[in-house]
């Protein structure tokens, strides 16, 4: 038999006082005598009383829970984002309900519906690679549930805040690093081009080449579908088999970059003397592979912290019944190129 949950009424009946008196006593209300407060707390402890947060949420029209949807939990970047979200949310008195879309649109829609049915106060979301339709997010917005998108965001969704990373600048800077170190035949293995992140990294790559007066070489540009190490490996085998092979590869993620490094080593080529490799995200593995991988570090923890703050600020604003519409915000965070051995400047030998 399921044990009965102790309520304020149970404690009140035992002490022959009102439930309101018990509630105020537990909150150390000054109108309640010290003696009564001590009796209430002692009995509440003995009976293992726990506040019913769901019932409290119903009375206040809020659950004190926020929902989070990310594409992949195992991804180093998203794990740091989650840490940032949870730190801010818990300090603000909110719990976090986490969902994983697995980069699938249908799963993302199901997750949004599940969070809405669970009466979350707001939703934080990084879109799946497949997502092109935002109707599911528009619907929860229409019911008054605030949505904040981060990383892979939905620009066409009105009335919502977002937090993005300057992926264009990050890609531009890391490719410029290669150019400054003497590399001129730079290939790019990009991600699916539906997410704005992959588009911006591709455009940053192209812009850096243009700055140095270099034309795009179509044979040097490859596109991942799933963004895996295997794709990095296979595309790199194609690239280094070209008659005029590239002397550097910029991969959309560190995982893809590591696949590229494996293919280069298997071909008996040297990194970076024959082919340099740079990645994106600064996974923990980037610093321990051989040679250590140059990459672009993203402020994941800061992104999660800021996204949670924007969402909870909007929740509070809505609960205060303000007449003026909430002023949504777009925040852009900067990246940092982490230079390591996989792209150090070539040694120019005297002829």
DSSP letter for 255, please: H
Domain 167-298+338-343 has CATH 2.40.50.840: no
One pLDDT digit (tens) per residue for the chain, 351 residues: 345 568 888 898 889 988 778 888 888 888 889 999 999 999 988 888 877 654 555 445 678 999 999 998 877 899 999 999 999 999 999 999 999 999 999 999 999 999 999 999 999 999 999 999 999 999 998 888 999 999 999 888 888 999 999 999 999 999 999 999 999 999 999 999 989 999 999 999 999 999 999 999 999 999 999 999 999 999 999 999 999 999 999 999 999 999 999 999 999 999 999 999 999 999 989 999 999 999 999 999 999 999 999 999 999 998 887 778 899 999 999 999 999 999 986 554 333
Distances (CA, A) of 232 to 46, 227, 263: 60, 8, 8
The pLDDT value given to residue 100? 96
The pLDDT value given to residue 2? 42
The pLDDT value given to residue 70? 97
> How many Cα atoms sit within 13 Å of 92 on the Cβ side?
23
H or E, element range at 98: strand 95-100
The pLDDT value given to residue 322? 79
Alpha helix stretches (DSSP H) within the chain: 8-15, 19-26, 34-46, 53-60, 76-91, 105-117, 135-142, 167-180, 196-211, 229-240, 254-266, 300-319
Q: Say whether 167-298+338-343 and 8-51 share the same fold.
A: no
Please spell the DSSP secondary structure of 49-90, one letter per residue. Answer: ----HHHHHHHHT--SEEEEEES-SSSHHHHHHHHHHHHHHH
Fold of the domain built from segment(s) 61-163+300-331: Rossmann fold (3.40.50)
The SS3 assignment for 123 reads: strand
Which residue ranges make up each domain of the chain?
8-51, 61-163+300-331, 167-298+338-343
The SS3 assignment for 1 reads: coil
CATH architecture of 8-51: Orthogonal Bundle (1.10)
The pLDDT value given to residue 53? 54
What residues have CB less than 8 Å from 44, skipping those under 6 apart?
A: 6, 11, 22, 26
* Structure token pair of residue 325: 């519409």
The pLDDT value given to residue 73? 85
What residues have CB less than 8 Å from 219, skipping those under 6 apart?
A: 242
* Structure token pair of residue 5: 């949950």
């Amino acid at each position: 038999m399921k044990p009965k949950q102790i309520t304020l009424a149970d404690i009140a009946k035992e002490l022959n006082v009102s439930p309101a008196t018990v509630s105020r006593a537990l909150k150390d209300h000054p109108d309640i005598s010290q003696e009564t407060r001590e009796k209430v707390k002692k009995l509440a402890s003995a009976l293992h009383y726990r506040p019913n947060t769901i019932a409290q949420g119903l009375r206040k029209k809020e659950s004190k829970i926020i929902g989070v949807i990310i594409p992949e939990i195992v991804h180093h970047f998203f794990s740091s984002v989650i840490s940032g979200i949870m730190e801010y949310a818990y300090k603000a008195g909110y719990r976090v309900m986490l969902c994983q879309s697995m980069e699938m649109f249908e799963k993302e829609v199901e997750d949004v519906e599940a969070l809405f049915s669970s009466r979350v106060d707001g939703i934080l979301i990084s879109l799946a690679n497949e997502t092109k339709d935002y109707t599911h997010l528009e619907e929860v917005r229409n019911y008054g549930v605030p949505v904040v998108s981060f990383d892979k965001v939905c620009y066409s969704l009105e009335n919502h805040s977002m937090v993005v990373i300057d992926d264009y600048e990050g890609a531009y800077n890391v490719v410029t690093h290669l150019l400054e170190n003497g590399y001129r035949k730079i290939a790019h293995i990009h991600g699916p081009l539906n997410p704005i992140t992959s588009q911006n990294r591709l455009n940053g790559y192209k812009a850096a080449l243009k700055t140095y007066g270099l034309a795009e070489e179509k044979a040097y540009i490859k596109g991942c579908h799933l963004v895996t190490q295997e794709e990095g490996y296979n595309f790199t085998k194609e690239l280094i088999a070209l008659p005029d092979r590239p002397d550097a590869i910029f991969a959309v993620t560190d995982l893809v970059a590591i696949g590229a490094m494996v293919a280069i080593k298997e071909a008996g080529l040297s990194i970076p003397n024959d082919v340099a490799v740079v990645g994106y995200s600064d996974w923990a593995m980037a610093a321990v592979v051989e040679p250590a991988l140059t990459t672009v570090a993203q402020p994941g923890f800061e992104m999660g912290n800021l996204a949670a703050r924007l969402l909870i600020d909007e929740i509070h604003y809505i609960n205060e019944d303000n007449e003026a519409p909430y002023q949504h915000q777009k925040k852009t965070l900067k990246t940092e190129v982490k230079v390591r051995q996989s792209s150090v400047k070539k040694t120019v030998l005297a002829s």
